[in-house]
Structure 1
Amino acid sequence: GGPFAQVMREGELPAADGELAARWGEQPLAACGVLVDFALVRATDVVLDPDELEPREADFPEPDDPGLLDAVDVWSEDVLDRFPDTPVPPVATELVAVRDLDLVDDDQWPRALALLARPPLRDALTQPVRILLPDGTHEVVRPYTAWWLRGHPVLGGRRPAGLRAAGSDPLLRGLYDEADATGFEDEQVLRALGVRTSVAALLDEPGGAAELLDRLADPERPVAPAQLHALYGALADLDPEQVTLPDELRAVVDGRVEVVDAAEAVVCDSPDLLPFTAGVPLLPVRPARAAELAELLQVRRLSESVTGAVDSEGTEHGVPEPVRVLLGPRTPAAYVEHEELVVDGTELDWRLTDDGVLHAATLEGVAAGLAWAAGQWPRRFEVAALLEDPTRTEELARDRWFD
């Protein structure tokens, strides 16, 4: 009648005599082999040969018999799929796993998960398994217990892998359905189950980047432009060797977020060239990460796609001292003012050419170009205010106390 017995399907396991249990209590009965909690299988040097992972012939279950684990042969096959075929199979140096998961009552999974989240069962769920490969190297893989739970409807009648925790990282909203984990908020265990809690945790997991890109390529999953910008920023930090190139990407096309052919996408790395992007699928990302994202996804950058040659003539002007103080040492000393700025036949507000010369046709264009050249893009509106009214220098300097 204890917590363990209450989560198991009725009749799956023989029950100890009630009078005997009352007389001796839980601990003596447990010492004799009566199950009072989920049982752990602890085995060392387990050869990952699915054909050999069968229960041993014995009078009673042996605590180091991996064959007692439900579908352990399938888990073994999944592990083997991660590595090249070899004449000698890999070996799990130590396997700690929870058995009898297949006997849990479907309606009792919230209580069962609470039991599994407590030591010593918790380690079987959260600690990876170390695999010794035939060449003497080691890799780590998902533990059997977490693997089993991920593939079964243990959270509100649904499989946890591919769901997101309520109140989790808002960047995952729309990409994952929300998990019903009412009363169970153990983040480490939820992550072990495959429930997504944050973009960082997702990308830290093997195959996480591929999963994120796959969901971004699903047009049925809504993604906002700002959300996409942040997600590409997170992806740009990854090693390209860890990422499989997708066939399709989520991009912003004329203000709409759409799924496009990856070969057509362009990383948006230069704001002065935006007038050339009508109908162009843009991948938004922080300027500092634009090159890394382009390398990761093997796509072009906008600045590489447009030559941006200035066709019109202009007059050079010095940059006012208050603006140079505001923007710092990288501020250009001068800019070229155009009555109409024409670049590759298109009229623009401003253009910063490859040789570092700023061309502009409007006050807003001068402000934007100076801020971009100085690496102070968020200051462009403040620069515009200074250019329009230099008497506001002290007022704006005082406002910067609160930056």
Structure 2
Amino acid sequence: MPTSGPDPFGINEIRDSTLQSWLTSPTRLREDVAAESDLVGVGYRDRLLTELVANAADAATAAGIVGVVKVWLDGPDLHIANTGAPLDAGGAAALTALRSSNKTGSGLVGRFGVGFTAVAAVTHHVQIRSRSGSIEFSAERTRSELQAHGIETDVVPTLRLAWPIDAGPAAGFDTEVVLRLDPHVEVETMMEGFGTEAVELLLELPAVDTIVIDGHTHVRERAGDIVAVGPDRWLEFSAPHARWLLPMTGDWLVARRRDVLRAPTRTDVELTVPAICVADVQLTADRRGLHPDADIATAAVGYADFAASLPTDQRTILVPEPGFAASRTDERLRSALLDELSTRPWLPGAGGDDLIPERAEVLVDLTAGLAHLLGEIITTLVHPEQSDRGSLTRLRSVGVTEIGLAEIASRLTGIEREPRWWGELYAELSVVAQGQVDELGALPVPLTDGRTMPGARGTVLPPPQSAESGTDVVAPSWLPTVHPEAAHELLERLGARRLSVSEMLSDPALRGEVESDPEGDDLARSVLGLLRTAPDASVPAWLGQMLLPTADGDERPADELLLPDSPLASVLVDDSPFGVVDPEWVRRYGADAFRALGVGWGFTVTREEYPTGPDHDLPDEATWWDTVGDPPQTFSAVRDLDLVHPDRWPQALSLLVESPDTAALLTDRGGYTAWWLRHYAEIGAAPLGHWRAPSDQTMAGVLDPLDHPHADELSGALGTADIEDTDQALMVLTHLADVHRSISPSVAAIAHTALATALRDGRIDLARVEPPTGLRTLAGSVADDAVVLDVPWLAAALDPTDVVVLAPPGFGLAAQLADLLDIPTATEEYSGGPTEPGEASTWQAHPRALRSALIQDRALPTGPIRVHEALTVELRRGDERSEHRVPWWRDEHGMVHVDAGFDVLGG
């Protein structure tokens, strides 16, 4: 225990004075006991470390240094040492006076001289060791002193009587407070609390940067505005009347939901503001409450500047959350903060400037892209990082006005921007709009003609633009079409129509423009631009009237032009009426676009749904329509066949076969194209209808096979066993009569049947037919004289070289064939019958009748017959007589005669 030492502070005199006041006025003693008890039990409970570190901070400030505090235990003694200005006479006197302080000047924490009383909560024996002098407080010595003067009392104040002692502070420190802890103190709990409190104190007291608690060092470090104590970090901002600190997690700021006011150390005033507030305000004597004359609102000054200093995406964290205040002081501070935030520029704007919230507007869920587009137009718009729904409540509390999509659409009316800008705007709005699309009904929409429509309804969306479209505007100029660079699916949701290229090209407005101004380059460019994107689109025939530039600088209708180097040009007559499209236009729009429009490359197909007659300007079309029964639902035909050079039909046929559009028409035998080719296209001076496909043997010998690499694919345009007109009939008759042609009897029968059928149906003008020079007989030979077999039973009796036959069962056409060949029928020329009457029987009774029916796969005849062992008939032709054995015969009475020796019987 240190002994009494020198008295540099006049402590002995102060002690004697205090003791004398107690002796003369026992009431004064009781007042001092009560006052100390109140301060210890109420005003400074739980504030031991706070008050001692606050004193250390004042000492460091007075010395102009940043102080260090060290706390440790040594047996029952608690030591608190600090650096800074040492104890002086004024300080010593203030320590012995219960309600006074000698501290003056700015930056000092202690103001009332009572904070040191906190030590009395844990001790009745205190030493203050300083390099300038040391003193001791002791309740035991105070009690002994009173007893020596005749006053007996158990309760005495600990901190009123002081004695000078001979003791210095721990090495490296300027002052050391030593407390002999009372037995009731829970030391372990106290020291744990000191560790937690040390962090808070380092935030509150800038004059101290290091506190060592029982070997554990807590150091405050600073990097710019970032303050760190160990792993914990805070962002600090100094305002005129307060310091504000926001906790940090990584680089992210975290709001405090509940805290207490600090001035600068902790008070009992609860706050619900987002940041730690260390305010420069006057407190009550116990430093726990706000002084009645203090105005907490002054702490809000500069708070908006704090918000403005934060990253743009975290600024609204400083706006107090709506809710009930924790106290009147809290309510006053919250109100002052909201006023400060409402009227000062700090809220990030979409255009880049900070906004005053009460003049700002927020569009919920604003995207960065939309903010970039709208920021320069709506300068009051809040930055997207603060426009989420989570920030909306805070923004409203500082006066920000919420606006909707309808307001955005209204603000954009009259704004002039490039179409691409509008397209980007629609893309961003589609993200924000979601289920609120109807609010954008008045959104301006730029058109290809330069106009801007007040809303999408009634406009037309252009077709999707391909990479080949380049920078050209691909849109129908005859419709209110959205500019391609502005087109977006949002507009379709707002009422814009999406038409196919075929629908655009068939629009009556286009036909009106073509008829009124067919020379318009812009119109042609629009049409070709559309066809470049959709060359397979359906193109109405009247679009062929549209004028296009030619290679010689003129303009001609599209359907009068050919593409440069087109194969079609190589097969047409030299003086064909076609011109050639300007090659530069072809390079720009592509050959397919021109071909779709009707410009020739190969042969072009004309199409019409539900045609009514020959109004397609095709050669000999009216003649073909005369051959048609019911009009087709779709009329399709190859154009310009009449312009093919007669010597170039082989090449022309190859073109027709090699093009899918035209090849399909070659298989339609009844269609116009195949019909025209059969009658008017000539190979070797003969129409195609006079040739056959090599694979078709039906008319082999009568029709010659076409020598062409695509002959079989041209079958619909070639001849078959079907006589269409008199010219073809004459050709077939001539070929049948030609002895140099090898024609089988079956082919001749088929040809005869086709001729008879055509005559019956009126396709042959009999007046133009001369009797043939030769007749193709059943024997396959050519005869000068013959008859047409018109009943089957004569076939076995007549010489095949004398008979012309039809293909079975063609006996019903015998009269027509006889008229065409100008020869008699067999029954007209021959008569006769069986030489014997035969034996009467019936089909059912004849033993070979059933076998005969089975052999011939025919029904078993019924009725009477006459059976002959050997059926012989006599034929008469004029004066000539001849007998012939035959398997069966039908006499002039209709009776059937059969030869019993034949298995195949007639009937």
Give the TM-score normalised by the residue count of structure 2.
0.28
Counterpart residue number, 2:591: 26
- Amino acid corresponding to residue 883 of structure 2 in structure 1: E
Counterpart residue number, 2:566: 5
Distance in 1 (alpha carbons) for counterparts of 2:680 and 2:743: 27
Q: CA 1:288–1:166 in structure 2 vs 1: closer, same or farther (change >3 Å)?
A: closer
Distance in 2 (alpha carbons) for counterparts of 1:27 and 1:178: 36
Counterpart residue number, 1:330: 862
Residue 741 of structure 2 aligns to a residue whose secondary structure is coil
Distance in 2 (alpha carbons) for counterparts of 1:282 and 1:127: 34
Q: CA 1:3–1:99 in structure 2 vs 1: closer, same or farther (change >3 Å)?
A: same
Counterpart residue number, 1:372: 906
Displacement of 1:41? 7.7
Counterpart residue number, 2:787: 265
Contact preservation (8 Å) 2:736, 2:775 = yes
Q: Does structure 1 residue 252 correspond to structure 2 residue 790? A: no
Structure 1: unaligned runs, 5 residues or longer: 49-63, 83-93, 129-141, 374-403
Q: CA 1:177–1:4 in structure 2 vs 1: closer, same or farther (change >3 Å)?
A: farther
Q: CA 1:159–1:221 in structure 2 vs 1: closer, same or farther (change >3 Å)?
A: same
Distance in 2 (alpha carbons) for counterparts of 1:97 and 1:337: 67
Contact preservation (8 Å) 2:568, 2:602 = no
- Of residues 696, 700, 706, the one that matches 1:173 is 700
Displacement of 1:113? 1.6
Counterpart residue number, 1:113: 656
Contact preservation (8 Å) 2:701, 2:743 = yes
Counterpart residue number, 2:883: 347
Q: Does structure 1 residue 99 correspond to structure 2 residue 640? A: yes
Q: CA 1:224–1:312 in structure 2 vs 1: closer, same or farther (change >3 Å)?
A: same
Distance in 2 (alpha carbons) for counterparts of 1:209 and 1:147: 17
Q: How does 1:2-401 map to 2 (within 5 A)?
A: 5-9=566-570, 20-26=585-591, 35-38=600-603, 66=617, 98-99=639-640, 101-102=643-644, 106=648, 108-114=651-657, 118=661, 122=665, 147=676, 151-152=680-681, 160-168=688-696, 170-183=697-710, 185-187=712-714, 190-192=715-717, 195-196=718-719, 198-199=720-721, 202-203=722-723, 205-207=724-726, 208-237=728-757, 240-242=760-762, 243-245=764-766, 246=769, 247-248=771-772, 250-252=775-777, 255-260=779-784, 264-267=786-789, 269-271=791-793, 274-275=796-797, 277-278=798-799, 281-285=802-806, 288-298=809-819, 299-311=823-835, 321-326=846-851, 327=853, 328-330=860-862, 332-337=864-869, 346-350=882-886, 352=889, 353-355=891-893, 356=895, 358=897, 360=899, 364=901, 366-368=902-904, 371-373=905-907
Contact preservation (8 Å) 2:832, 2:875 = yes
Distance in 1 (alpha carbons) for counterparts of 2:686 and 2:757: 32
- Amino acid corresponding to residue 330 of structure 1 in structure 2: T
Contact preservation (8 Å) 2:691, 2:705 = yes
- Amino acid corresponding to residue 700 of structure 2 in structure 1: R
Q: CA 1:117–1:25 in structure 2 vs 1: closer, same or farther (change >3 Å)?
A: closer
Alignment RMSD: 5.1
Give the TM-score normalised by the residue count of structure 1.
0.55
Contact preservation (8 Å) 1:165, 1:178 = yes
Residue 228 of structure 1 aligns to a residue whose secondary structure is helix
Rg larger for:
2
Displacement of 1:340? 7.5
Q: CA 1:38–1:173 in structure 2 vs 1: closer, same or farther (change >3 Å)?
A: closer
Displacement of 1:173? 0.9
Displacement of 1:372? 1.0
Displacement of 1:210? 4.9
Counterpart residue number, 2:528: none
Distance in 1 (alpha carbons) for counterparts of 2:862 and 2:752: 27
Displacement of 1:266? 3.1
Q: CA 1:284–1:296 in structure 2 vs 1: closer, same or farther (change >3 Å)?
A: closer
Displacement of 1:176? 1.9
Contact preservation (8 Å) 1:310, 1:342 = yes
Contact preservation (8 Å) 1:219, 1:258 = yes
Distance in 1 (alpha carbons) for counterparts of 2:663 and 2:842: 71
Distance in 2 (alpha carbons) for counterparts of 1:321 and 1:104: 67
Distance in 2 (alpha carbons) for counterparts of 1:236 and 1:127: 21
- Amino acid corresponding to residue 9 of structure 1 in structure 2: S
Distance in 1 (alpha carbons) for counterparts of 2:811 and 2:801: 16
Contact preservation (8 Å) 1:156, 1:179 = no
